[in-house]
Amino acid sequence: MWSIWTTGLMTGLALIIAIGAQNAFVLRQGIRREHVGVVVVLCMVSDALLILGGTVGIGVLVSRFPLALEVLKWGGAAYLAWWAVRSFKSALKPSALTAEAPRSRGSVIATTLALTYLNPHVYLDTVVLLGGLANQHGPDARWVFAAGAVVGSALWFSALGYGARKLSGVLSSPRTWRIVDLAIGVVMLALAVKLVLG
């Protein structure tokens, strides 16, 4: 069970670490120290709801249509491979992250919710992919995997929001993002292979 939890943790982290609009916004707020707690909590709770919802939803789908798990397996592997290629391309043209102008609490909440729930990738990552991967472990162990993914999400958003100010110098370097993107690409490719062979 511990290895399943760790796999969930690492998979959740690998998916969420990829820099996107949501992560960039959390970083910017962290660097500016503006409403960081609100942003971090909203992102953590949203991810937990989506991951657990995906685990339940995909589980119901698989119990009614066993072939769905096979479709999700190959679809998930293709998506992971695509994400790996995308990360490798990003590593070729890394860019620095810059802070934006101050925002009100209401504006920050609205932006955080929009970047979370209006982003189609969040549903692919949390609901479809993590839900599908969780259900590969069976009816009971799927919750262990999902718990690992939820913890990974909570750790990432906390570290991102509260660690951004201290890491602002490092995070402003394109070289850092090249290393991050390369690492993400390798992890995604390894997960795709494991999903197909496992």
Whole-number pLDDT of residue 144:
92
Q: What is the pLDDT of residue 150?
A: 93
**123-153: pLDDT as tens digits:** 777 888 888 888 888 888 889 999 999 999 9
Q: What is the DSSP string of the chain?
A: -HHHHHHHHHHHHHHHHS--HHHHHHHHHHHHTSSHHHHHHHHHHHHHHHHHHHHHHHHHHHHH-THHHHHHHHHHHHHHHHHHHHHHHHHHS-----------HHHHHHHHHHHHHT-HHHIIIIIIIIHHHHHTTHHHHHHHHHHHHHHHHHHHHHHHHHHTTTTHHHHT-HHHHHHHHHHHHHHHHHHHHHHHH-
Residue 182 tokens, joined? 């390369």
CA neighbor of 164 nearest in space, from 80, 115, 100, 105? 100
pLDDT tops 70 at residue 99: no
Q: Kindly state the percentage of the chain with pLDDT values over 90.
A: 19
pLDDT digits (tens, 9 = 90+) for 100-110: 556 788 989 99
Q: What is the mean pLDDT of the chain?
A: 81
Asked whether the predicted pLDDT for residue 169 surpasses 80, the reply is no
Give ∠ CA 180-86-129 in degrees, rounded to 5.
Answer: 90
Task: Note the pLDDT tens digit of each residue in 174-187.
Answer: 787 788 778 778 87
- Average confidence (pLDDT) over 146-171: 86
Which two tokens mark 61?
Answer: 């789908």
Task: Write out pLDDT tens, residues 22-63.
Answer: 777 787 788 778 899 999 999 999 999 999 988 888 767 766
Contacts of 147 (CB under 8 A, 6+ apart): 5, 8
Say what percent of the chain tops pLDDT 70: 88
Quick one: pLDDT at residue 96?
A: 60
Please state the separation of Cα 146 from the chain's center in Å: 13
